[in-house]
Amino acid sequence: MSFAGRILPGLPFAPRADRLVERNVMNYRRTWLVLVSGFFEPLFYLLGIGFGIGALVGTVTGPNGVTIPYSVFVAPGLLASSAMNGAIYDSTFNIFFKLRYAKTYDAILSTPLGINDIAVGEIAWALIRGTLYAIGFLAVMLVLGLVRSPWIILALPAAMLIGFAFAAVGMACTTWVRSWTDFDYIFVVTLPLFLFSSTFYPLSVYPEPLRTIVELTPLSRCIDLLRSLALDQISPVLLVDVAYLAVMGGIGLLIVSRRLDKLLLK
C-alpha cells in the first residue's frame, strides 16, 4: 500500500482518492519550501502581537471568566487560523490553476478516477496541509509554555476537522471563480474572519447584536473549540462546534462534487 493509501483509506464513494493525495505529495517533494513558508505567518503574529503587544496588555479574561496572559489567549486563535489558512491556500489557488489552466482534472478523468475521487482527494490534501501547519504551531505553543491543559492533545484532530471544513468550502467557492482577480472576494471574507473572530480579543468587547453574529462565523467556532481545549474549559458547547464544522465540510464536499460534475462532464 502506498503512503497516501495508509493515511487516506479507500472510501466507498471515492475509492481512488488516495491517488490524488499521492500525486500532491510527489509534486511538493521539490517545492517543500512552499509548504514551510505558510507556517511562519501565524508564528510572526504570535511573537509580534501575542508577546510584543501582550507585554503591554498583560492579562485578559478568557472563557468562563478565567484571567490568563494575553499570549496564552491569542495562541489557540492563531492555531485555528493556521489550520484554516493552510486548507484555504491549497483548495483555492492550486485548484483554480489545475481546473482552468493546466486542465489536470480533464486528464485525470481519462483514468479510472472519477469526480468523487478528485473532490475527496484534493480536499484531503488541503486538509493535510492545514494539519501540518497546525502541528508546527502546536509544537511552538508547547515549547513556549502556552498550553494549560492536557486536553490540548485533542487539538490535532480538531485542527484536522477545521482543515476539512475550510478545504471543502474553499474548493467549492473556487469552482465559481472565473479569473485570478476573483480571489479578492475570498480574501474579503477570510481577512475579516481572521481579524474579528475573537483571535486577538474576547467576544465580550462586541455589543450584543454584533457579538451574536461573530459567534456564528466559522472561524469563531474553530477558535472557541481550540481555546476551550487549550484552557481546560470543556463543556457540551464543544460538541456544537464539532457538529458545525462537520456539517460545513459535508456541505462543501457535496457542492464540490456537483460543481465538478457540471464543469468537467458537461
CB 20, CB 125: distance < 8 Å: yes
Question: What confidence tens digit (pLDDT) does each residue in 150-192 have?
Answer: 888 898 899 999 999 999 999 999 999 988 888 888 888 888 8
Q: Do 229 and 155 touch, CB atoms closer than 8 A?
A: yes
Q: Scanning the structure block, which residue is given the C-alpha cell 484532530?
A: 157
Residue 219's domain spans which residues? 3-264
Strands 59-61, 67-69: pairing kind: antiparallel
Is the pLDDT at 39 greater than 90? The verdict is no
- Whether the per-residue pLDDT at 221 is higher than 70: the answer is yes
Q: Give Cβ neighbours of residue 164 (< 8 Å, ≥ 6 apart).
A: 87, 123, 127, 245, 249
Total of domains in the chain: 1
Are the beta carbons of 80 and 219 closer than 8 angstroms? yes
Q: Are 162 and 249 in contact (CB under 8 A)?
A: no
Q: How high is the mean pLDDT of the chain?
A: 84
- Res. 1 pLDDT band, cuts 50 70 90: very low
Which residues make beta-bridge pairs with 61? Answer: 67
What is the per-residue DSSP string for 196-260?
Answer: HSSSSS-GGGS-HHHHHHHHTSHHHHHHHHHHHHHTT---THHHHHHHHHHHHHHHHHHHHHHHH
**Mean of pLDDT values over 109-126:** 89
Identity of the residue numbered 48: G
Provide the Cα torsion 108, 114, 117, 122; round to 10°.
40
CA–CA gap between residue 254 and residue 261 (Å, rounded): 11
Task: For 199, list phi and psi in degrees, rounded to 5.
Answer: -65, -45
